[in-house]
Chains A and B, each alone.
Chain A
Amino acid sequence: MRKLTYSQAISEATVQCMEADPSIVLAGQSVDDHKGVYGTTGDAFARFGSARVMDIPNGENAFAGIAVGAASMGLRPLVVHTRDDFMFLAMDGIFNLAAKWRYMYGNRGSAPVVMRGIIGRGWGQGATHSQSLQSLFGHFPGLYVATPASPADAKGLLISALRADTPVILLENRGLYGLEGEVPEEPVAVPFGKGRIARAGDDITIVAASLMVHEAERAAEVLAGHGVSAEVVDVRSIRPLDDAMICESVAKTGHLVVADTSWARYGFSAEVAAVVAENVPQALRAPVRRVTPPDCPAPVSWPLENAFNPGAETITRACLETLRAAQDSVPEIEDVMAGFIGPY
């Protein structure tokens, strides 16, 4: 199969969908400039012009609502945010309107807005230009949220998004745009809620999304050198989450490490741990480990940034520690309340 980069795959999906569906309008700040949002919107602009590929004013708050109003009247806005951090300004339209539109009007109509948000991790993007918002978006019923890791999924999930009758948030890590992979030429949709076994293995499960899938694959390679067979689950969608694939993998391996580009607390990694704890608790032969950034905003200074962002090495270490803990016998820990007496 021919290969495309991640950004070429997004561009191709956009052009193919816009050809098939004249109601799609691509809108965002500078979608029509020479950079074309990392090469993802330039082809569409060349093909369809400013009538369908629109530069918009700086007003994320209103534009989220404008997109909802247009979508509820039959238009299909594909909105691009060059940093997902800017989407904080669009939260009212996303959460209070798009996500709830069908439900709160009693299943009458819908507002199928598609929003792409780009995560700018690395190179000193710092506290407000490098956040990964999958956990935030994943929290709200009524949305689909996807985090494609491969070029084929970047294309396929965007196609599904532009055909859905439900609002969709697609999160793209800037570090992935140059990545090459096999991509079908035809518009093949990738369904929401179906994960992908990025690498099969028997000893430990690493669940990851977006960029961390690649870090996990690199870790799995290193682990193989240590005689450890790691399985990498690329969830592809955050909401709905492929609970079954995660649980089946953990049931097989008995060990779970979750790797995420965002914080542990209340995050994607917490959700995966909860899904396993609720569904297959008996399968776990060691405690779950979460590999995430530490609990502080993203710094800029190089050594601090390197320490902040977890990668393959951190995942590898976490896996080895998890497996060793499983081999040793875990001592019994007394209930923290045992022997407790007042005063309260």
Chain B
Amino acid sequence: MEPRQLLRNMVRIRCAEEVIADVYRDEQQMRTPVHFSIGQEATAVGVCAALRREDVVYSGHRCHAHYLAKGGDLRAMVAEFYGRESGCASGRGGSVHLTDQEAGFAASSAILGEMISVATGAAWAFAREGAPRVAATFFGDGASEEGVFHESLNFAALHRLPVIFVCENNQYALGSPVDARQPPGTSITGRARGYGIRAEQVDGNDVQAVYEAAHKAALHCREGNGPYFLELDTYRWREHVGPHWDHELGVRPRDEVESWIERCPIRRTTQALRATDPGIEDAVAAWDREFRAEVREAIALAKASPFPRVEDLLSGTYEN
């Protein structure tokens, strides 16, 4: 994918999340806990750009960016936040249980690390079919502390499954920094290598670097060489859950947050393209207007859409 397109995709996700965050805060009508990826867009966009439509992506609670990057329907996501029948999970899942099977966004779920195993299972099914499909799963540094992470990596490596493990190391689990949770002198990449898995640590705010690494990973999986592990260093700007900033509350040092805002993946890509593409800043400004309008339209549409019928409360619990 061209850098310009990668940038455009990041701008779209940024606009979607910023508009949603404002409306969420001001209106209090989206009654579902939201976990924004603002500042982390390069990981979602870079990885998903390297995948095919038939490849599947799984995610955790912080999943909006992954859903949109894989081509998930924006209107259906917004409708889901509003609990509407037209939501991507018909109002039964909310912001942490997104799905768009047509786009290959298989599922997200909110228990830390569990989707690592589910993606491994999907890859197991693909390997058995001999299908050249790849499963990718996004999770954070916190999830790498779960037992399910280790058990899944062990199984995937043992059976050489086509799964890309994408660890977005944003350095925090809620307000707890990674060095309070993991021993010094070790790394998540190192632990993946301990299972004999090809693993790479990449600047997660450099969308081009992420894209190239993910491209290599997908090829590795597709050629039957087993799983691939990417640790992408990045940073979440907002609070763990909700639309607010948390450095104002002393959760994280202001300097630290500001230093990562300096490393904004959108700004970096824009600056990198300026030399060869002098019109890029105007283009970004135009995209910004276009996407904010698109999101506002999706919000208006969702609000005008019907809620699920209470008579259907039980439907979907069992097969019909």
Contact = CB atoms under 8 A, between A and B. Distances in A.
B300 interface: no
A62 B117 contact: yes
Given A93-B117, A102-B316, A62 B151 contact: yes
A105 B92 contact: yes
A59 B119 contact: no
B315 to A, nearest CB: 6
A110 interface: yes
B319 interface: yes
B155 A63 contact: yes
User: What range describes how many residues of A lie at the interface?
Assistant: 35 or more
Given A59-B155, A75-B128, A92 B114 contact: yes
Contacts of B58: 69
Given A72-B106, A92-B114, A166 B318 contact: yes
B97 interface: yes
Contacts of A64: 117
Contact of A102 (B101, B129, B319): B319
A142 B314 CA distance: 10
A107 B148 CA distance: 26
Contact of A57 (B109, B147, B155, B317): B155
A3 to B, nearest CB: 33
Contact of A73 (B88, B89, B125, B315): B125
Contacts of B287: none
A67 B121 contact: yes
A234 B175 CA distance: 53
A103 B126 contact: no
Interface in A78-123: 92-93, 96-97, 101-110
A311 interface: no
A104 B89 contact: yes
B158 interface: yes
A56 B316 CA distance: 31
Contacts of B123: 69
B114 A97 contact: yes
B95 interface: no
Interface of B: 56, 58, 87-93, 97, 99, 101, 106-107, 109, 111, 114-126, 128-129, 135, 147-148, 150-152, 154-155, 158, 315-319
8 closest cross-chain pairs (CB), A and B: A69-B121, A65-B117, A106-B90, A59-B151, A62-B151, A107-B316, A66-B121, A69-B118
Interface of A: 25, 56-57, 59, 61-75, 92-93, 96-97, 101-110, 141-142, 164-166
7 contacts: A68-B117, A72-B122, A102-B317, A104-B89, A108-B90, A141-B317, A164-B319
Given A56-B155, A59-B152, 12 more contacts: A57-B151, A63-B117, A63-B151, A65-B116, A69-B118, A69-B123, A72-B121, A97-B114, A105-B107, A106-B89, A107-B90, A142-B318
